[in-house]
Amino acid sequence: MKTSNTRTSRVGRNPFVHEPKFTMTEKIKIGLMSVTVFPVRLLLVSFFMLLAWPFAFTASLGRSEFVIEPQSWWRRFIDICLRVIMRAMWFCGGFHWIKVKGERAAPSEVPILTVAPHSTYFDAIPVTMTMCSIVTKLESRSIPVWGTLISYIRPVFVFRSDQDSRRKTVEEIKRRAQSEGKWPQIMIFPEGTCTNRSGLILFKAGAFIPALPVQPVILRYPNKLDTVSWTWQGPGAFKILWLTLCQPHNSMEIEYLPIYTPSNEEKENPALFANNVRELMAKALELPLTDLSFDDREIILSKGPLCIHNYSSLLEFNQLVCRLGLKVGTTDSVFEEQARRARKLQGDRLGLEGFAQFLNLQITDMLRQIYSFFDEHGDGLIDIRHYIIALSTVLRPKKSMETLKLAFKMYESEEDGTILEKELAVILEIMLGVKEMELSVLFLTLNGPNTGKITYDQLRGYLKQHPLITQDVLVFKDHPRKLCICRPRSCNGQNHNKDD
């Protein structure tokens, strides 16, 4: 698989990881606040949230989820009460002063507000200040107390169990956006997930498909100590709450940027529209663009002995796979069927037409791009097994052993179930996203005679005993310790066999 360098420079810091580090002084302050201020703040925040519940519940009674009715005087009164209560709640949580820059446009002028970066559940503050609608998963409606407050703002619910959910969500956003201000504004976080604010990841196109003007809104948390970031790897929800409530003051800034009206080209191309708005917001935030998306998070956060080492080429491949729609419907049984068909080819390489027939797809520019990833020799022929291994790696990054087992099924000998050293090298190069794998150390440290062959069970047993195989045994191009581990003994003469 060809390794692309086009994305590497734009990935930078992992946006899905946040591991806060505290000095001894900060730890002492948090300890003191934990037994003094924190219990009081938690009690007050809980009180105001519970106080808001009956107001939101009453205002939601008898209201249609699909038809907007004129707001009566008592619902307007409840709306004001809720804004006051929620602002008091955030004040008790340490958000004493919230700086607002710029001016929010009227719903009739701009139906959609695009908000970024999305990094924490405290991003709900501008939602409660404006009572805009949001896009959220259906399950959030069942959260005690908070679910009622979410239902009150008339969100666009996403039915994740429905395979057609994405299309229905976009249609609902478009329907509301074209209501000429009758529906509340929709506040959308186009990143689609929380990051650590180290850069703006790729925007999803949902907010831009209606091809109507949007108003970008940027959020800042200027506190010296970042306790609010809630990412895929890092402190959990309650720890974030605890650490934040233990801060004397939590700063937040909300800035409404000028309205962005799409050009004719952007109206025809939502992805271009989204990217141009993202560039504008990144410039205002003075943050870099991070060429990653919500769909990339599991690849970057892969763990285990065969976790992805260099994900640049796999991320680009994953992006193309998602655009081509191959991610939906590719189940474990589909992988098994593809592996069975690939084994029958016995290593025979396929041209572009054969590749399209194998996948039962028509030849398109995007399919050509995917095909080019595996045309390593530039002769217009690819080994379909390489494609299946790469696809399994990006679609099942947390199940590297299943990918490895699938690969063995395509390569193993019928006589003894073994594969050759060079075949295992190709498999691991694809799975780890690296080049020029060297396995001499691995085969020398295996028990038994070095035949240059290995079974899946042998390798699985070895991985259980050597969970740090990537650092200690495997050697590949640009490996940080390549000069030291390219031989059975290290540079200082010590054996790398962890059993010693």
> Among 455, 460, 451, which residue's Cα sits nearest to residue 402?
460
Average pLDDT estimate for 354-375: 91
Helix (H, G, I), strand (E, B), or coil: what is residue 325?
Answer: coil
pLDDT, position 326: 82
> Among 289, 257, 240, which residue's Cα sits nearest to residue 115?
257
Does the pLDDT of residue 495 top 60, yes or no? Answer: no
Sign of CA dihedral 143, 149, 150, 155: positive
State the pTM of this model. Answer: 0.81
Does the pLDDT of residue 497 top 70, yes or no? Answer: no
> Cα separation of 398 and 111, whole Å?
39
Does the pLDDT of residue 17 top 70, yes or no? Answer: yes
Strand boundaries in 240-315, DSSP class E = 252-256
> Cα separation of 241 and 247, whole Å?
10
> Cα separation of 212 and 457, whole Å?
57
105-126: pLDDT as tens digits: 999 899 999 999 999 999 999 9
Q: What percent of the chain has pLDDT over 90?
A: 57
pLDDT band at 483 (very low <50, low <70, confident <90, very high): very low
Q: What percent of the chain has pLDDT over 70?
A: 92
Q: Greater confidence, 311 or 333?
A: 333
C-beta of residue 289 within 8 angstroms of C-beta of residue 282: yes
Polymer length of the chain: 500
pLDDT band at 160 (very low <50, low <70, confident <90, very high): low
The helix or strand, by DSSP H or E, that contains position 3, with its residue range, turns out to be: none
C-beta of residue 126 within 8 angstroms of C-beta of residue 83: no
pLDDT band at 496 (very low <50, low <70, confident <90, very high): very low
CA atoms within a 13 Å half-sphere pointing along the CA-CB vector of 162 = 12
C-beta of residue 120 within 8 angstroms of C-beta of residue 220: no
Kindly state the DSSP code that residue 489 receives in the 8-state scheme.
Answer: B
> Among 462, 451, 461, 467, which residue's Cα sits nearest to residue 419?
451
Residue 362 CB coordination number (10 Å): 7
Average pLDDT estimate for 43-58: 95
> Cα separation of 216 and 220, whole Å?
13
C-beta of residue 215 within 8 angstroms of C-beta of residue 104: yes
